[in-house]
Amino acid sequence: MRPFSYARARTEQDAFSTLAQTARGAYLAGGTNLIDLIKLEVAKPDAVIDINALPLAAIETTPSGELRIGALARMSDTADHPALRSAAPAISQALNLSASAQLRNMATIGGNVLQRTRCVYFRDISQPCNKRRPGSGCSAIGGDDRKMAILGANDRCIAVHPSDFAVAMLLVDATIHLRGPAGERTVPFLGFHRLPDDPSRDTNIQPGELITALTFMPSALTRSSTYIKVRDRASYEFALVSVAAALEVTGGTIRDARIGLGGVAHAPWRSREAEAVLIGKVPSRDLFTAAAEAGLQAAVPQRLNRFKIRMAKNAMIRALTSVGMPA
Amino acid sequence: MIGAPLARVDGRAKVTGAARYSYEEQPAHVAYAVIVTSTIAVGRIASIDGTEALSRRGVLAVLTHDNAPRVRQDAASPGDRKLRLLQDDRVLYDRQPVALVVAESFEVATEAAARVRVTYAAETPATTMNAPGAVTYEPPEANQNPADSARGSFDSAFAAAPVRIDQTYVTPTEFHNPMEPHATTAAWDGNRLTLYDASQGVFDRRKSIAAIFGLPESGVRVVTKFVGGGFGSKGGTNAHTALAAMAARLVGRPVKIVLTRPDMFGGHGYRPRTEQHLRIGADTSGRLLALAHDVRSQASRFENFIENSAVISRMLYAVPNQVTTHRGVRYDVATPTFMRAPGESSGSFALESAMDELAYATGVDPLALRLLNYTETDPDQHGKPFSSKSLRRCYAEGAARFGWSQRPPQVRATRTADGLLVGYGMASSTYPANRSSSAAMATVHSDGSAYVTSGACDIGTGAYTAFTQIAAEALGIDVAHVRFDLGDTLMPEAARAGGSQQTASVANAVHLAGIAVRDKLAAAAVADAASPLHGRRLDDMTFARGRIALRERPELGETYVAILQRAGVSSMSAFAEAKHDRRVKGPYSTHAFGAHFAEVHVDPDFGTVRLARMVSAFAAGRIVNSRMARSQYMGGVVWGVSMALHEEGRIDERSGRYMNANLENYLVPVNADIPEIDIVLVDEEDPHVNPLGIKGIGEIGIVGMNAAVANAVFHATEKRVRDLPIRPEKLL
Ligand SMILES: Cc1cc2nc3c(=O)[nH]c(=O)nc-3n(C[C@H](O)[C@H](O)[C@H](O)COP(=O)(O)OP(=O)(O)OC[C@H]3O[C@@H](n4cnc5c(N)ncnc54)[C@H](O)[C@@H]3O)c2cc1C
Ligand code: SF4
């Protein structure tokens, strides 16, 4: 760990101006990812600006009926929020299947979305890594690639995004609210996380910007959603693969569908291919199998993770069965 | 008092934080050291520059091979350790110490350590057992056992056997990660050194450190009051202990070191990877005719440690024709060491998996197969009788509790309501009952309390409590008035806490010391005309609640307090030694035995395995404390599950670096992975093993559990996984 200064921001403006005075300042929310990375010297901020005093922790239903999750809402508070649980069960489930109770009490929604990959080479500064040191090479390629990507990877980076929550957020057409020194903007959640064209950039956030909130409009689709996580042990472990699925079925026909995949790509992965197979069809085991095949058609395994393809297909079939053909 | 489920006497100190662990010692002016470790597996340090580190405020010294004091780094024991103590520029394994930074605080030392600039002339490491540069060798021994063994004629018997199993089983490199990492606080007083060290044996540690620094053993004191788990890792002397002493001498202040979690995956020993070739020949009824167990064990290039995996195959079943061999395979890794049930835990996976394969090949129930090949005598010691063996009762009681008879013989035959595959598996367990010489000192004070010491270690097993009970019973004083202390080389010498031997070894010494003081008190009373016991015979007396009485006339007697007060002395003491020479084989073979039964549920879509039930039955002689014994067995069983499903050091074959060197990526079970564990304590009286009839229980819990899980997985899925851990992909 390198020495850094610490400041507590009282207002957003305060946060922006404090950050502007630093060379490599970083915002601190729950700290469960940032502090880790500082200890490992993967992150080397000269200043840490604590944003926990900002009034961004509320979870509320807006007058227009949208659900608004403040960036500083804790994972645990979010998971247990009754409005969210009924609006999008997959999101609650994804949060409750994340990390541990202690971590969820500390970690925030904004931090969760921005958490960095768990790639072991990224987290070990003795190893080359394009994400940490652009141009140094990707050690995971040809190394221990068991947990790495099977979709959307390239020869610069094969890391996966670790968040469960972000996968479930793909189902709800969420909006990310950002505020920075230059003002406020909103971006769709989908597309916020990047594929590894430039592995040093995980997302499209701009320097100095704060996430203030995530919003979405609950719908029949989001209410009928579920999240399935497959991992090496029963709890306290990142996903090998995960699937978030939402289906709107009326009159025995699938009107709309959303599928998110986790543990497979540099970004939470929306499978439009699988969705296309489903929409307009009658739910059946065969249909779900076809959707899973379509969803993983483009998958390219690494040396040690061919199994993820089958696992992801089976997880998708199970998730679709549980929302589309409940027993 | 022996056998009672007494709560830990040190429990309150531990949960309140009053118990002081080695790193928590805070001698005046203590400084903090942090080790810089290599990032290559083999090569040379080309340059090392501590200037920037040294310039940090609060940094006291930066030690490298250029300036470190010269010591004898080859002198440590036990085993033939050759530590890496900054004496030269060679790097022999990943995460080898290459520099040491000493500073006013842990934080400053940590930050400065990251500023030490090291460049390497790296060489291409051999990083697997089958790599071109890996070298197979014939070891002189396998962890204190003969490396090879033979009886009968294996080749012809195997060739003629109607049923043959011929398979190779692999266990991965595993790293001990006790909650308390390795830690040492070192303080010099002139030429005398005191070490507060997280160790499993203070006397072993003293010997090693004295030899490394060229000191007389009397010049080194080692203190180990509390240890947060050892599991073998704290048995041998490791570099950090010597480095702390080196740094303390250099800066002229006490110095403490605690390892980071990643460095727990460095040069402090680990369970080596094994590749075990099992060949079993049997008749069609399942009776064993021939068995060969050939082990290849991961080894370093510079020290000898061999996982004695085949030793269990020499004695567990009646097999007339047998060969076993151990070979080391040297490559560019650190040296392995003892890790809970070294040999038996890895070996039982191979043997008990192969037995399960034989059960399916012959159509014999796995439990019936074990009974068919049961041996009443030790085939490895020319049919010597066991001092006691209650394995039949372990099988019977475990099977009954588990409901083994309900097991459907077909594989992949049962599912839970939600579609998970159900499988039952079992395996046998055994571990030798070892013992070493130990001594103890017991004192009874004139206030009626007793103070008993022996330089043993409590590595979390409950030694404080067990020896308090033993002492109380021997002394005839209630446990509440007995204080037992341990963990100091100023105390009588005791066996180390390793090899499941400490309780049996030290208990016998404590017992003798207790009896000796008691008898002294009685002798004083007998000789004293003022005593109601005057002129009585020792044989006619009983000792209880701090009082001596006549067996036939209990009202006639007096208390220890009265005897001491009349004698005008403040206390009476006795020293006793329970000698045992491990090299001298007695008339009995001594082992503890057990049996595991496990039910697993496997998700056929994901290949994920979860334990549903576990029943394990053990017979290990006299149990000193049933509550702690249960905990000890449970810990072993959990670790067996961990070995079966989770643990694995993952080496990057290009660099030779273990890339999962942390508890995020080195998996162990969490609570959600472990259902209720039903431990059955099978009563056993052993009049031969040692005077108190105690066998060790430290390691047997893990032995065979990995195979019980793997066998259950086969029953559930029809997939035989022969390389641990059983990851989902192996079942998909
Ligand atoms: C042992 C362990 C297990 C875990 N398991 C899981 C799991 O199973 N599933 C899962 O999804 N996650 C898991 N996590 C990750 C955990 O969810 C994240 O660490 C957490 O969500 C990060 O949130 P935080 O508030 O602590 O972020 P911080 O560590 O405070 O911040 C993370 C990053 O986001 C930036 N940041 C934070 N908030 C904002 C904001 N509002 N605006 C702009 N920038 C911001 C920070 O500057 C920093 O770069 C695990 C973590 C650990 C340590
Ligand atoms: S996969 Fe990405 S994060 Fe991992 S080493 Fe390669 S570049 Fe770095």
Query: Does B670 contact A235 at a Cβ distance shorter than 8 Å?
Result: yes
Look at B70-84, B533-547, B705-719 and tell me which has the smallest mean pLDDT. Answer: B70-84
- Distance in Å, alpha carbon of A40 to nearest chain B alpha carbon: 10
Write the pLDDT tens digit of every residue in A58-95: 999 999 999 999 999 999 999 999 999 999 999 999 99
Instruction: Give me the mean pLDDT over the B615-624 stretch.
Output: 97
Contacts 24+ apart (CB under 8 A), A32-39: A32/A99, A32/A103, A32/A106, A32/A107, A32/A111, A33/A107, A33/A111, A33/A114, A33/A115, A33/A116, A34/A111, A37/A116, A37/A123, A38/A1, A38/A2, A38/A4, A39/A1
Give yes or no for a contact between B19 and B225, defined as CB atoms under 8 angstroms apart: yes
Selected from 3.90.700.10, 3.90.1170.50, 3.30.420.40, 3.40.50.1820, the CATH number assigned to the domain covering B11-125+176-265 reads 3.90.1170.50
Nearest CA to ligand 2 atom 6: A138
Distance A118 CA to ligand 2 centre (A): 9
Name residues 611-670 of chain B within 8 A of A (Cβ).
645-646, 650, 652, 654-655, 657, 659-660, 664-665, 667, 669-670
Query: Does B672 contact A234 at a Cβ distance shorter than 8 Å?
Result: yes
- Distance in Å, alpha carbon of A60 to nearest chain B alpha carbon: 33
Instruction: Report how many Cβ contacts below 8 Å link chain A to chain B.
Output: 79
Write the pLDDT tens digit of every residue in B109-131: 999 999 999 999 999 999 999 99
Q: What is the chain A residue with the closest CA to B669?
A: A233
Q: Is A318 on the interface with B (CB under 8 A)?
A: yes
Give residue limits of the domains in chain A. 5-50, 220-324
Mean pLDDT across chain B, nearest whole number? 97
Write the pLDDT tens digit of every residue in B183-239: 999 999 999 999 999 999 999 999 999 999 999 999 999 999 999 999 999 999 999
Topology match between the domains A5-50 and A220-324: no
The Cβ of residue B588 has, within 10 Å, a number of other Cβ atoms equal to: 19
Selected from 3.40.718.10, 3.40.50.300, 1.10.1470.10, 3.30.390.50, the CATH number assigned to the domain covering A220-324 reads 3.30.390.50
Q: Is the pLDDT of residue B355 over 70?
A: yes
- Atom in ligand 2 nearest the alpha carbon of residue A132: 8
User: In sequence order, which residues have a C-beta less than 8 Å from that of residue B561 and are 6 or more positions away?
Assistant: B446, B447, B448, B546
Per-residue pLDDT of chain A (327 residues; tens, 9 = 90+): 889 999 999 999 999 999 999 999 999 999 999 999 999 999 999 999 999 999 999 999 999 999 999 999 999 999 999 999 999 999 999 999 999 999 999 999 999 999 999 999 999 999 999 999 999 999 999 999 999 999 999 999 999 999 999 999 999 999 999 999 999 999 999 999 999 999 999 999 999 999 999 999 999 999 999 999 999 999 999 999 999 999 999 999 999 999 999 999 999 999 999 999 999 999 999 999 999 999 999 999 999 999 999 999 999 999 999 999 877
> Relative to the alpha carbon of A106, which ligand is closest?
1
pLDDT band for position B78 (50/70/90)?
A: low
Distance B651 CA to ligand 2 centre (A): 17
Contacts 24+ apart (CB under 8 A), A29-34: A29/A71, A29/A72, A29/A107, A29/A108, A29/A110, A29/A111, A30/A74, A30/A106, A30/A107, A30/A108, A30/A111, A31/A106, A31/A111, A32/A99, A32/A103, A32/A106, A32/A107, A32/A111, A33/A107, A33/A111, A33/A114, A33/A115, A33/A116, A34/A111
Q: What CATH code is assigned to A5-50?
A: 3.30.43
Nearest CA to ligand 2 atom 3: A122
Query: Does A126 contact B657 at a Cβ distance shorter than 8 Å?
Result: yes
User: Ligand 1 within 6 A of A238 CB?
Assistant: yes
Topology match between the domains B11-125+176-265 and B340-434+585-730: no
Instruction: Give me the mean pLDDT over the B87-93 stretch.
Output: 98
Give residue limits of the domains in chain B. 11-125+176-265, 340-434+585-730, 438-578
- Atom in ligand 2 nearest the alpha carbon of residue A158: 1
pLDDT band for position B1 (50/70/90)?
A: confident
- Distance in Å, alpha carbon of B335 to nearest chain A alpha carbon: 22
Can you give the pLDDT at residue B79?
Answer: 60
Q: Say what the ipTM of the complex is.
A: 0.97
Nearest CA-CA partner of A248 in A275, A215, A273, A287: A275
CA atoms within 13 A on the CB side of B128: 10
> Relative to the alpha carbon of A302, which ligand is closest?
2
Residues in B touching A263 (Cβ below 8 Å): none
Q: What is the chain B residue with the closest CA to A100?
A: B670
Distance B205 CA to ligand 1 centre (A): 43
Q: What CATH code is assigned to B340-434+585-730?
A: 3.30.365.10
CATH architecture, domain defined by B438-578: 2-Layer Sandwich (3.30)
* Runs of H (alpha helix) within B145-238: 154-160, 202-213
Query: Does A143 contact B659 at a Cβ distance shorter than 8 Å?
Result: yes
Q: Give which of B659, B662, B671 to mutate to test A binding, by max A Cβ within 10 Å.
A: B659
Residues in A touching B663 (Cβ below 8 Å): none
User: Ligand 1 within 6 A of A34 CB?
Assistant: yes
Q: Is A1 on the interface with B (CB under 8 A)?
A: yes
B166 Rama sector, left if φ>0, alpha if ψ -120 to 50, beta otherwise: beta
